[in-house]
């Protein structure tokens, strides 16, 4: 296309488009660089043959419905409902909305709940892919930090109390209680119960992002917040991305039916794909998904173990690294005086990359920590990548 200068366009852009920086980072061919940055699924673990046979079956048996305009396949809604119920969340079909990835729910939530200036409480660190949607809708973000056991509930209670004194009621608290991105933390049951109680007491919704909840390596995690809440204060956001394949773009919201209806009314394209919803249901049926998840747990656990063993060998002992009990990430906290951005610059010279902590805070914190992902890097490169970061530590002294 013939190019005209971008300045000719600049007056046309909406204010939000002028200020929003591109957030997507996709892996490029990076030569010898070992990337521990991407929180992607391991491509070699995709159940490609089974997905292919599910596709063939849907097209052979149900092409007229699958390939036309039409509603989300109710069979997939029922599959998600049954799975949620088996996990203790008391869902019915009208409590569930199937979406294009959980990202779509995270984009719909502010449409339903946020007017400019409304308060939303987010974790620090957190998954900024969600928080950017809230910010774009004009939310006033208040950060409550995460410690080794997830969201600091004492600090949350203080924040809620202070806001209430000023007559301010936050719209929701966005939290990732189980195998947090990026910190890898797991919120214990006692904190979960307190969070559910606080939500009720202050009349604040909790958005529970459960992207990694099924990927535990040792013991199953405590009950989801959505299973502890009996009054509808929790909206669970879930996804097939981590347990099946992100390219399918298939996720869900589960919550109070009035909220689900409102989210659905902002999902202006209507259904989530007659073909894909059938194909995913066909794949998941007969226990295939659960068997696949068991394989994923073993494969990701082995990668986590490789990474932690290499860290113990190669890094200075005063770098704080907690052992994640599930999920995709290892979160490293630096000793005082070291900067993650400076470490990254040095590490890239040694041929390895990761994401500095500043990418995971809405309020500018984070240069004292960084995130490593063990999900996407080929296992054979993990020890080398960690050793290269060890060399970067030594250069920085």
Ligand X SMILES: Cc1ncc(COP(=O)(O)O)c(C=O)c1O
List of residues contacting ligand X (CB under 6 A)? 39, 101-103, 127, 129, 176, 181, 209, 211, 239, 241, 246, 251
* C-alpha distance across the termini of the chain, in Å: 51
Nearest to 205 by CA among 102, 98, 103, 112: 112
Q: Cβ closer to ligand X: 73 or 360?
A: 360
- Give me the least distance between CB of 185 and ligand X, in Å please: 12
Q: Return the exposure string of 223-257: e unless at least 16 CB atoms fall within 10 Å of the residue's CB, then b.
A: bbbbbbbeebbbbbbbbbbbbbbbebbbbbbbbbe
Task: Please report the beta strands in the chain, taking only residues with DSSP state E, as ranges in sequence order.
Answer: 34-35, 96-99, 119-124, 140-147, 150-151, 172-175, 205-209, 234-239, 251-254, 320-321, 329-333, 352-353, 355-356, 369-373
- Give me the least distance between CB of 254 and ligand X, in Å please: 14
- Give me the least distance between CB of 143 and ligand X, in Å please: 16
Q: Cβ closer to ligand X: 103 or 236?
A: 103
- Give me the least distance between CB of 4 and ligand X, in Å please: 34
Encode 241-295 in three state secondary structure.
Answer: CCCCCHHHCCEEEECCHHHHHHHHHHCCCCCCCHHHHHHHHHHHHHHHHHHHHHH
- Give me the least distance between CB of 102 and ligand X, in Å please: 3
**Which residues are CB-neighbours of 313 under 8 A, at least 6 positions away?**
386, 387, 390
Q: Which two tokens stand for residue 397?
A: 């002294």
How many residues are given for the chain?
397
Q: Cβ closer to ligand X: 240 or 315?
A: 240
Q: Cβ closer to ligand X: 182 or 385?
A: 182
Q: Return the exposure string of 295-304: e unless at least 16 CB atoms fall within 10 Å of the residue's CB, then b.
A: ebbeebbebb
Q: Cβ closer to ligand X: 222 or 251?
A: 251
- Give me the least distance between CB of 129 and ligand X, in Å please: 6
- Give me the least distance between CB of 180 and ligand X, in Å please: 8
d(CA 137, CA 116): 6
Q: Cβ closer to ligand X: 245 or 352?
A: 245
- Give me the least distance between CB of 237 and ligand X, in Å please: 7
Q: Cβ closer to ligand X: 239 or 392?
A: 239
Phi and psi at 123, nearest 5°, equal -85, 155
Q: Cβ closer to ligand X: 202 or 252?
A: 252
Q: Cβ closer to ligand X: 206 or 387?
A: 206
Q: Which two tokens stand for residue 121?
A: 């409480």
Beta bridge partners of 183: none
Neighbours of 133 (CB within 10 A): 21
- Give me the least distance between CB of 360 and ligand X, in Å please: 11
**Which residues are CB-neighbours of 125 under 8 A, at least 6 positions away?**
146, 182, 183, 331, 357, 360, 361, 365, 366, 369, 371
d(CA 77, CA 73): 7
Q: Cβ closer to ligand X: 99 or 315?
A: 99
d(CA 72, CA 83): 17
- Give me the least distance between CB of 183 and ligand X, in Å please: 11
């Amino acid at each position: 296309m013939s190019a005209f200068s971008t300045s000719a366009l600049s007056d046309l852009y909406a204010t939000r488009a002028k200020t929003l920086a591109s957030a997507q980072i996709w892996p490029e061919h990076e030569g010898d660089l070992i990337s521990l940055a991407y929180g992607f699924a391991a491509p070699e673990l995709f159940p490609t043959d089974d997905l292919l046979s599910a596709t063939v079956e849907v097209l052979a048996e149900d092409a007229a419905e699958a390939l036309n305009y039409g509603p989300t396949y109710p069979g997939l809604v029922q599959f998600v409902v049954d799975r949620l119920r088996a996990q203790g969340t008391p869902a019915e079909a009208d409590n569930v909305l199937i979406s294009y990835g959980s990202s779509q729910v995270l984009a719909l939530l502010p449409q339903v709940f946020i007017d400019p200036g409304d308060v939303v409480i987010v974790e620090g660190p957190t998954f900024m892919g969600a928080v950017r949607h809230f910010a774009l809708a004009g939310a006033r973000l208040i950060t409550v930090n995460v410690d080794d056991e997830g969201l600091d509930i004492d600090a949350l209670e203080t924040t809620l109390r202070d806001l209430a004194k000023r007559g301010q009621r936050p719209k929701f608290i966005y939290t990732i209680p189980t195998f947090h991105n990026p910190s890898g933390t797991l919120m214990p049951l006692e904190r979960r119960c307190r969070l559910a109680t606080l939500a009720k007491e202050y009349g604040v919704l909790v958005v529970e992002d459960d992207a990694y909840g099924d990927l535990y390596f040792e013991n199953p995690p405590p009950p989801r917040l959505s299973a502890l809440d009996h009054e509808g204060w929790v909206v669970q956001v879930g996804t097939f991305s981590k347990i099946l394949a992100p390219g399918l773009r298939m996720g869900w919201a589960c919550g109070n039916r009035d909220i689900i209806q409102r989210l659905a009314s902002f999902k202006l394209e209507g259904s989530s794909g007659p073909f894909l919803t059938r194909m995913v249901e066909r794949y998941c049926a007969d226990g295939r998904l659960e068997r696949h998840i068991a394989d994923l747990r073993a494969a990701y656990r082995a990668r986590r173990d490789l990474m932690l063993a290499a860290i113990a060998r190669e890094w200075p002992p005063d770098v704080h690294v907690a052992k994640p009990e599930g999920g995709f990430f290892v979160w490293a906290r630096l000793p005082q005086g070291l900067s993650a951005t400076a470490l990254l610059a040095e590490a890239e010279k040694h041929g390895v990359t990761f994401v500095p902590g500043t990418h995971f805070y809405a309020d500018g914190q984070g240069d004292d920590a960084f995130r490593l992902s063990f999900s996407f890097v080929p296992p054979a490169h993990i020890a080398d990548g960690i050793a290269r970061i060890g060399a970067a530590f030594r250069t920085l002294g």
